[in-house]
Structure 1
C-alpha cells in the first residue's frame, strides 16, 4: 500500500518554539572522528530551557518529525511520538518498514549545540552530538 508523503509544514502556523535540531554521530572507537553523514534532523518544539515541550508536541503532532540520514542511503522519514513511560520515539511511518527508535532520556535532555544525546537504534544505543538548533 502506498502511503502519502508528508504534508508540508507551514511554518507560519507553528508556535515560535519549533526548531530544526541536527545531531550527528559522535566520536567512538568505530568512528574516531565522528561521522557527519550519519545524522538525524528533528523538528520539535523546545521550551525556554531547550527541552522538548510535550504540550506543544501533543498539540502539533503532525509537525513533529524526524529525518534519519545514512551515507549512501535514502533518508528515512518519520514522526517524533511520545511513547510509554515518557519516552520519545522515532516512528518511521512513511515507508512502514523500519522499527521505532527511542531517544534515551529525551524528556530531560537539553537540545543545545555541543550537547550529546543517545538514540537506541535496531542494533543498540548510539551517541550523537547536537551540531545545530535553528528556528523554523
Structure 2
C-alpha cells in the first residue's frame, strides 16, 4: 500500500484576513485511490503513518495526524483532546489532484480554502 504526499497552500479567501499565501498551508501523508480520493480501506491499514503538518510563516510548524470518525475526516494535533481538531469540509469526497481546492476549518473556527499544489508518492 503506497502513501502520497499532498501539499496544500492557502488560496485567496475574500472577506477574510488572508489573501493567498504560499507560505501558509498543510502537508499531508495519506493513501489515495487511483482517482485521487482518500482510500478508507488503505487508511485503516496505514493509519499510524498518515500525518498532517500545518505550516505558516508566523508560527512553528505543527505536526498531527490525519484522523477519521465515521465518514468525517479531520486533522488532529493532540489525541487527548478534540479542542484542537480541524475539520475538513467533505474531505473524503475531494480529489487530491493539483489545482483542486480544499476547505479547512482552522483552530479559530474560520473556514479557509487551500489549493492543492503538489501530489507525489511518499
- Unmatched segments (≥5 aa) in structure 2: none
- Alignment-derived partner of residue 114 in structure 1: 99
> Residue 88 of structure 2: SS of its match in structure 1?
strand
Q: Which has the larger radius of gyration?
A: 1
Match of 1:68 among 54, 68, 81: 54
- Unmatched segments (≥5 aa) in structure 1: 1-14
Checking the alignment, whether the CA contact within 8 Å between 1:77 and 1:92 is kept in structure 2 is yes
For 1:44 and 1:95, locate their aligned partners in 2 and report how far apart those are by CA, in whole Å: 22
Normalising by structure 1, report the TM-score.
0.80
**Which has more strand, going by share of residues?**
2
Q: Does 1:35 align with 2:53?
A: no
> Residue 75 of structure 2: SS of its match in structure 1?
strand
Q: CA RMSD in A?
A: 1.9
For 2:59 and 2:40, locate their aligned partners in 1 and report how far apart those are by CA, in whole Å: 31
Q: Does 1:93 align with 2:78?
A: yes
For 2:28 and 2:87, locate their aligned partners in 1 and report how far apart those are by CA, in whole Å: 13
Q: Bigger relative contact order, structure 1 or 2, given CA contacts below 8 A and separation 6+?
A: 2
Deviations 1:45-82 (A, max 9, x none): 00011000011111111100000001121110000011
> Residue 75 of structure 1: SS of its match in structure 2?
strand
Normalising by structure 2, report the TM-score.
0.89
- Alignment-derived partner of residue 116 in structure 2: 130
Aligned residue pairs: how many? 119
Cα displacement (A) at 1:95: 9.8
For 1:25 and 1:133, locate their aligned partners in 2 and report how far apart those are by CA, in whole Å: 16
